[in-house]
Structure 1
Amino acid sequence: MASNKPAPEAPSPFATDNFGEADRTWEEWNPTEESIRPVRGRHRVAKQRGLARSSTVLGVGVIAAVGAGGMATAQSKPPVSISLPDSLADNLPDAKSLPGVGAFMSDDADMTPVSAAPLTSAGITSAEAEQGTTDAGEALRARILQQAEQQQANADAEARAAEEKAAAEKAAADAKEQQDKAEAKIAAEKKKAEEAAKKKKEAERLAKLAASYALPTSSYSISSTYGQSGPMWSSGHHTGLDFAAPTGTPVKAVHSGTVKSAGYSGAYGYRTVLELDDGTEIWYCHQSTMNVTAGQKVSTGDTIGRVGATGNVTGAHLHLEVHTGGGAGIDPMSWLRSKGLTV
C-alpha cells in the first residue's frame, strides 16, 4: 500500500511560554514534494464480463443482494464511541460561530430532535414492512429474486404459448389433411357410383330396346361391312352390311313399322323397304322371296322374306342398309348396336 512521508509536527496550540501562558499563535503548514511522496502502485479495474442473457437478472440480483446484505450487516454492528481530550474539546470553536452554520441553529431550548430513520429500513415499501421485512439489503435481494422469477415465469409462459400454438397449427393441418382425404374419397366413391348408375341405366335402356328390336336374320356371318371399298360396287364402296346365310333363311323385321315398298330393284334384286315410326328406313336386299306387300304393318321379329342371291351378287346373302328420315345412308352395324343388339 502506498504511504506518505510524515508531515512535520506543527507547534502545539497548547504550549506555554516561560511565564506559563498558552501560546495561541498558529503557523500555516504547506505540503511540498519533499513532505508528500506520490502514491505508487497501479489500480486495476476488472473488466466486466458479459453475462448470458437468460441469467443476467439473476446474477446481478445475487451480487446486489450480497452487497446490500453486507452493508446492512455492517450497519447492524454497535457504534464505536470516540472521545476527545478535555483540553481539545474546551478549545473547539462554538458551532454557531461557524460561517454558514449559525443560521441553521435555534436558541429554543425546546427544539424537538429530528429522528432519522435507520439506514437499514431505507427503501422498504409499506407492503414489505407489513410482511415483516425490516432490512434494506434483504428487501433488495427479495425484490431482485422476485423479478428474476417473474421474468423466468414470463419466458416459460411464452414458450408454452408457442408450443401450444404450434401444436394447434399442426392439429389444424392434420385435420384439414384428413378432411381433404375424406372429401376426395367421397368424391371418388360418388363418381364411381354415378358411373355405375350410368352404365346400369344404359344397359337397361339397351335391354329394353333389345326387347323391341331384333336381328334381321340368323345363322349368318358378316361377309362385307359398311364403307368397304372395291370394284364390286358401282359407287366404289359398300353401302350396307352383308349377312352371309344359306338361301331360304328367314328375313325378319328389326322393329315394328310399315312396309313402304316391296319388289325387284335392279342390282339390289328383290328389295323390301321397311319404314319405322321415327322415319328411319331399313332396306332388305337380294331376297329370294318376299312375304309382305307395300302398306303392310309388321312387328318386331315378323318374317318379311327369305335370304337369296338376286341382283348383283356373288353368293347368297342379305344386304342390309339403314337410311335416316332424310335419306342419308348410315352404318347398319353401329345402328343395330345402338339398339342393344349384338352383331
Structure 2
Amino acid sequence: MASNTPAPEAPFDAFGGGAAPSAPDTEWNPTEDSLRDRARSGGRHRVVKQRSNFARSSTVLGVGVIAAVGAGGLATAQDKPPVAISLPDLNLPDAHDLPGVGALLPAQEERETVSADRANPNPLTSATYTTEADERASRSGQVTRTSLTTAEAPGAADAGEALRARILQQAEQQQASADAAEKAAAEKAAAEKAAAEAQAKADAAEKAEAEAKAKAEAKAEAEARAKAEAERLAKLAASYSMPLSSYSLTATYMQSGSMWSSGYHTGLDFAAPTGTPLKAVHGATVKSAGWSGSYGYRIVLELEDGTEIWYCHLSSMTVSAGQTVGTGETIGRVGATGNVSGAHLHLEVHPGGGDGVDPAAWLRSKGLTV
C-alpha cells in the first residue's frame, strides 16, 4: 500500500505565545492510487485535508491588524507571522455568484480597496472627532467638523491653535448674534415706549380739548339761558308793572316789630305821599274793594292764575268789585287809613289765594326791579 508523507506543519500561535504542538503522526495525505489500493483491501484511511498545488502551499488567512486608540495617542498592532492552514480544494462557486448573497457582498473594486487597506502596515493613521462646540454649532445650523490625523502630528500645536481660533470665532459670532438680538429688543422696547408716550400725550391733548369744548359749550348754554331768561323777563316786564312809579321801601316782608299784631310784617311797604296814583301790576279782575279793618281801605286783584294782590291803607279807590283792569291801570291812591303810622302802600301777594309770599321776590320773578 502506497502513501504520501504528511506535509510539515508550520508552528501556529495566533497570540504570540509560542509554537503549538505538531500534528499527530497518524495524519497523512493520501493520493488517488493509495486510496484506490486501500479500497481494494477494504481498509480505511483518515483523510485530513486534500491539497492542490496552490492549497499545499496553504491559503494564507492574515490575522487582522488590531488597532486600539490609547489615552495618549494611536497604537497599531504588531505584524504577526502568517499561519499556514491547509484546506481541501472543493471547487466551490464564487460567493458573488450565489443567488441572494452576491448583492450583500462588496464589489470587486471595494474588495481591492479593502485589500489595499489591509496591505497598509499602519492603516490607522487618522482619527476624526467632533467637539462639543461642533455639536452645538451643528444644532444651530453652523456645521463644523474638526479632523486630526497622525500626519498632522508634527503640526499639532498649529492644529490646536486653529481649533482654538475657530472655537473663539464661533463664540464671538454667537455673542455678536446675542448682542444684536438684545439691541433689537432694546430698540423695539424704546419704540414701543415712545409710541405709548406719544399716545398718552395725544390722549391728554384730546381730553384737554374735550374739556375745553365742554366748558365752552356749558358757558354758551349758560349765556343762552341767561339771555332767554332776560328775554322772558323783558316780556313779563312789558306785561307787568310796578304799583308806584316813585317810592321808598320802609318795611320788608317778615320783618319783626311790636307795631304789627302778629309780631312780624306780612307784606312790603312803599312810602309815598297821600294821593299818589296806584297802578294794577297785571291784567286782573277786582275781587273786592272796600274797608278791611286794620288794613283800612283795601283793593284785592285776582290774576288769571288765581294769585291775589292786596293794596291796603288807600285814601281812595277808583274801581269796584267785579271790574276788569289792565296792566298799569290806576285803581286807587296812596293813603294812611287803618293801622298805620304814615302814608304808604302796604302790598301783599297770596298765590292761589293762600298764604302770603315775599312781594319783592314775586315782583322780581315777573321781570320787575324793586
TM-score, normalising length: structure 2:
0.58
Q: 1:330 to 1:128 in 2, by over 3 A?
A: closer
The residue that corresponds to 2:116 in the other structure is 111
Q: Do 1:245 and 1:317's aligned partners in 2 also have CA atoms closer than 8 Å?
A: yes
Determine if the alignment matches structure 1 residue 227 to structure 2 residue 227.
no
Partner SS, residue 188 of structure 1: helix
Partner SS, residue 205 of structure 1: helix
What residue identity is the alignment partner of 2:222?
E
The residue that corresponds to 1:289 in the other structure is 316
Q: Do 2:295 and 2:337's aligned partners in 1 also have CA atoms closer than 8 Å?
A: yes
Cα deviation, residue 176, structure 1 = 2.1
What residue identity is the alignment partner of 1:180?
K
The residue that corresponds to 1:241 in the other structure is 268
The residue that corresponds to 1:336 in the other structure is 363
Determine if the alignment matches structure 1 residue 210 to structure 2 residue 237.
yes
Cα deviation, residue 117, structure 1 = 7.1
Q: 1:255 to 1:116 in 2, by over 3 A?
A: farther
Q: 1:117 to 1:198 in 2, by over 3 A?
A: farther
Aligned with 2:79 (options 95, 103, 114) = 95
Cα deviation, residue 179, structure 1 = 2.1
Aligned with 2:351 (options 324, 330, 343) = 324
TM-score, normalising length: structure 1:
0.62
Q: 1:297 to 1:107 in 2, by over 3 A?
A: closer
Cα deviation, residue 252, structure 1 = 0.2
Task: Name the Cα RMSD after superposition.
Answer: 3.3
Residues 78-157 of structure 1 correspond to what in structure 2 (within 5 A)?
95-96=79-80, 110-112=115-117, 139-157=166-184
Partner SS, residue 239 of structure 1: coil
Q: Do 1:120 and 1:136's aligned partners in 2 also have CA atoms closer than 8 Å?
A: no
Distance across 1 between alignment mates of 2:113 and 2:287: 153
Q: Do 1:257 and 1:277's aligned partners in 2 also have CA atoms closer than 8 Å?
A: yes
The residue that corresponds to 2:326 in the other structure is 299
Q: Do 1:128 and 1:139's aligned partners in 2 also have CA atoms closer than 8 Å?
A: no
Q: 1:286 to 1:215 in 2, by over 3 A?
A: same
Number of matched pairs? 240
What residue identity is the alignment partner of 1:159?
A
Cα deviation, residue 139, structure 1 = 4.9
Distance across 2 between alignment mates of 1:297 and 1:108: 144
Q: Deviations over 1:125-161 (max 9, x none)?
A: 89879xxxxx766654543332222112111111111
Identity %: 55
Q: Do 2:319 and 2:331's aligned partners in 1 also have CA atoms closer than 8 Å?
A: yes
Determine if the alignment matches structure 1 residue 280 to structure 2 residue 310.
no
Unaligned runs of 5+ in 1: 1-92, 99-105, 130-134
Q: Do 1:214 and 1:254's aligned partners in 2 also have CA atoms closer than 8 Å?
A: yes
Unaligned runs of 5+ in 2: 1-76, 83-110, 145-161
What residue identity is the alignment partner of 1:262?
A
Q: Which has the larger radius of gyration?
A: 2
Distance across 2 between alignment mates of 1:309 and 1:107: 157
